[in-house]
Amino acid sequence: MANTALITGASSGIGRELARYHASKGGDLIITARRATELDALKSELESNHGITVTTIPLDLGTTDGAAKLYAAVNATGQSVDILINNAAFGGHGIFTERELSADLAMINLNVCALVALCHMIGSDMVANGSGRILNVSSTAAHLAGPLQATYFATKAFVSSFSQAIDGELRDKGVTVTALEPGYVATEFAAVADLEGTDLVSGKAASPASVAKCGYDAMMDGKLTVINDRKLAFQLNWIMPFLPRRMKLNFVRKMQEKAT
Ligand SMILES: NC(=O)c1ccc[n+]([C@@H]2O[C@H](COP(=O)([O-])OP(=O)(O)OC[C@H]3O[C@@H](n4cnc5c(N)ncnc54)[C@H](OP(=O)(O)O)[C@@H]3O)[C@@H](O)[C@H]2O)c1
């Protein structure tokens, strides 16, 4: 039986580990990101280690028509997508009004608009086929408002809310949607988001491989949401909701401040 996964942001970090994990289970892959060299290296590695087929589609998913271009390129391969993993995203540190507006709008385009478009286009095909699994990579940031990363935290709140809502619409049509909400993970994310030197990234980091396995397994089990770390899950689900909002804003701001 065909078992093809489309994974965005597969050139590094959690996305690359999701591709490795899916390949280890014998599934074919369509992988995408901007860096073609990294995608080609992953294709060679996975095809020789697992005897599967990997298609690479290097493109910028953050442009207005990025998702439509990806969908057209996937269709041109003649493959249908059994698993959609929306993983590509980036963050950005700083006071909102002091950041370039264009950077935050680009973040919304990738983290939110492209994800929504792919869920719509590929989700519609899955509904027509009567089956499919979608994993949307969100973040623990979905549970909190995030001073010094205001737009990023808000994009992840969107991803978790949207994922659960469409699961509620699609589950009885054979399509499940899971939101993976990791805490801090050791990837290129912190450098890209300019978070180095903050308390957020000086603490314990999960490995991208462990987070990928956690999210993939939860998706296959049809779970609604999953947090990779039990202690963090307890704090976010059972302590944070009862704390005063201002206290939480101060806590998150402090975590993301840089020593001057
Ligand atoms: N690391 C963490 O602490 C953490 C915590 C919670 C949630 N997350 C989430 O985990 C997911 C993966 O992040 P990561 O930690 O693995 O970070 P990462 O190593 O920086 O990976 C991000 C991926 O997104 C791709 N990407 C970025 N901009 C793109 C664009 N315009 N078009 C196409 N692809 C683009 C990158 O590839 P190219 O540069 O080659 O395009 C890369 O493959 C994200 O959704 C992130 O929000 C991360």
- Amino acid symbol at 101: L
Is the CB of 62 within 6 Å of ligand 1? Answer: yes
Q: What's 144's DSSP letter? A: S
- Ligand 1 atom with the shortest distance to the CA of 34: 41
- Ligand 1 atom with the shortest distance to the CA of 13: 16
26, 49 contact by CB (below 8 A): no
Strand, helix or coil at 80?
coil
How far apart, in whole angstroms, are the C-alpha atoms of residue 128 and residue 17? Answer: 29
- Topology of the domain covering 4-255: Rossmann fold (3.40.50)
Helix 150-170 × helix 115-129 angle, to 10°: 10
Residue with CA nearest ligand 1 atom 47: 89
Strand, helix or coil at 12?
coil
Point out the residues that are catalytic.
Answer: 152
Beta bridge partners of 259: none
Q: What's 259's DSSP letter? A: P
Residue with CA nearest ligand 1 atom 36: 9
Is the CB of 251 within 6 Å of ligand 1? Answer: no
Q: What would the pLDDT profile of 188-231 be if each residue is shown by its tens digit?
A: 999 999 999 999 888 889 999 999 999 999 999 999 999 999 99
Full 3-state SS string of 81-137: CCEEEECCCCCCCCCHHHCCHHHHHHHHHHHHHHHHHHHHHHHHHHHHHCCEEEEEE
Beta bridge partners of 86: 136
Q: Quote the ligand 1 centre to 242 CA distance (angstroms).
A: 31
Residue with CA nearest ligand 1 atom 34: 33
Is the CB of 151 within 6 Å of ligand 1? Answer: no
Q: Quote the ligand 1 centre to 244 CA distance (angstroms).
A: 31
pLDDT, position 201: 86
Q: What residue ranges of the chain have pLDDT lower than 70?
A: 1-2, 260
Is the CB of 35 within 6 Å of ligand 1? Answer: yes
Task: Show the tokens assigned to 229.
Answer: 């770390």
Q: What is the DSSP string of 213-247?
A: HHHHHHHHTT-SEE-S-HHHHHIIIIIGGGS-HHH
pLDDT, position 2: 66
Residue with CA nearest ligand 1 atom 16: 13
Is the CB of 204 within 6 Å of ligand 1? Answer: no
Best of 37, 71, 90 for a ligand 1 pocket test (most atoms within 8 Å of beta carbon)? 90
Is the CB of 155 within 6 Å of ligand 1? Answer: no
Q: How many residues does the chain have?
A: 260
- Ligand 1 atom with the shortest distance to the CA of 185: 3
Q: What's 33's DSSP letter? A: E
Distances (CA, A) of 113 to 165, 182, 254: 16, 21, 30
The residue ranges of every structural domain in the chain are 4-255
Is the CB of 23 within 6 Å of ligand 1? Answer: no
Q: Quote the ligand 1 centre to 161 CA distance (angstroms).
A: 20
Is the CB of 14 within 6 Å of ligand 1? Answer: yes
